[in-house]
Structure 1
Amino acid sequence: MNARTWLTHLVTAVAVLAGAAGCGHDTPQPSHQAPSSGVVRFTVHQHGRPAHVDRVVDGDTLIATYTDGSNHRVTIRLIGVDTPETKKPHTPVQCWGPQASALTDQLATGHQVNLETDPRVDRVDRYGRTLAYIWIQHPGHDDTMLNQTLLTAGAAREYDYDHQNYKYRDQFRAAQTAAQHQRAGLWGQCGTH
């Protein structure tokens, strides 16, 4: 199976899993709980500043423009995840890096999102990137969190920078454990345990 076909199958599988997670819920999930599937979903747009994703730099870094009137362009680094490198200077492209970047691009580029910051972590990192959770808007349907979707697909590793105990850490670790058990993404192809 070629890479494009494989990526299409992966995105379809992630979308099906995300859709199944929302079935049967008549009320919004509380912000401190995840549904039994482990996918964090909300039916109310209650998270952060609205933005439009302009492009993907790599699997965990994106460029977005706020759509709340400021039209300010910002570089976003996803909280709680680390995807294999594709753009880091003096670092070779890592196993599953291109697939992680392609998945992030397919899920986020061109979409309206909400950028949720976390008071438990720094607002920006040492490179000046805004640290955020990205909630992808699906009009008429539940929003999905890009950060956790990448973990569920095995496109990222859970990452707790400087042990800051970020808001969704437990859910992210559970998503990573499930991906490891299923040998999803990098867990099945990169010799990672």
Structure 2
Amino acid sequence: MKKIIFLAPILLLIFSGCISDDNIDSGDFIDSHEHFSGTVTRVVDGDTVHVDSNGVDYNIRLLGVDTPETYQKNSVSEYYIDYETPITDTEYLDYWGHLATNYTRNTLENKSVYVVFDKNSDKQDKYGRYLAYIYLENENFNENLIEYGFARVYVSDFELKAGFLETEKTAKSEKTGLWNYNN
């Protein structure tokens, strides 16, 4: 009888969906990580923004994502439709770099966001930019860039990498955004 009483609450949590690896509650994720709130004041490109928090300007490189470049030449060895097929048209990548920048600008500029740091990743890159997730209305904007086909996963050590890779796999299989490419 004691075993049933002990197991009942655990089974209730499991079957009610409160324990799940697939769905990370963004509020819990934010609260359990170093973070701050601020306003996006400038969009540099699709994966780099400036956030003002209490008068301090933070240059944020969105963690785990890479959008095509807009200020320098794109590399055809970075965007693969599958394991063997790179996107070789640099004009196509340039076009998607500008679309990603516009999407980021239209979605984030002048908006209040949370900047959330990852426990596995470095806090800053070699250029001094902060590496972080941007949460807008409890949605992970970094992952949205991947989901909507504006970015690829920038593979490094970060907590949400497995989920980001799954999101990218789905975007590619559904030919979403830049993944709707034909050689």
Q: Could you say which TM-score interval applies, normalised by the shorter chain?
A: 0.7 to 0.9
2:147 is matched with which residue: 140, 148, 152?
152
Cα offset for 1:120?
A: 1.0
**What is the alpha-carbon distance in structure 2 between the residues aligned to residue 76 and residue 53 of structure 1?**
10
Q: Is the 8 A contact 1:34 1:41 kept in 2?
A: no
1:57 is matched with which residue: 21, 24, 44?
44
| Percent identical residues | 30
Q: What secondary structure, in the 3-state scheme, does the structure 2 residue paired with 1:186 have?
A: helix
Q: What is the TM-score of this pair, normalised by structure 2?
A: 0.72
- The match for 2:103 is 103
Q: Runs in 1 of length 4+ with deviation above 4 angstroms?
A: 27-30, 90-93
| Change in CA separation of 1:104 and 1:33 when aligned onto 2, cut-off 3 Å | farther
**What is the alpha-carbon distance in structure 1 between the residues aligned to residue 49 and residue 27 of structure 2?**
24
**What is the alpha-carbon distance in structure 2 between the residues aligned to residue 41 and residue 104 of structure 1?**
23
- The match for 2:71 is 87
Q: Tell me whether 1:134 sits opposite 2:118 in the alignment.
A: no
Q: What secondary structure, in the 3-state scheme, does the structure 1 residue paired with 2:180 have?
A: helix
Cα offset for 1:160?
A: 1.6
**What is the alpha-carbon distance in structure 2 between the residues aligned to residue 33 and residue 125 of structure 1?**
29
The alignment's C-alpha RMSD in Å is: 2.5
In the alignment of these two chains, the number of paired residues is 148
| Change in CA separation of 1:53 and 1:34 when aligned onto 2, cut-off 3 Å | farther
The one-letter code matched in structure 1 to 2:36 is: R
| Change in CA separation of 1:172 and 1:86 when aligned onto 2, cut-off 3 Å | same
Structure 1 unaligned segments of length 5 or more: list them: 1-26, 138-142
1:34 is matched with which residue: 22, 30, 47?
22
Q: What is the TM-score of this pair, normalised by structure 1?
A: 0.69
1:76 is matched with which residue: 44, 60, 68?
60
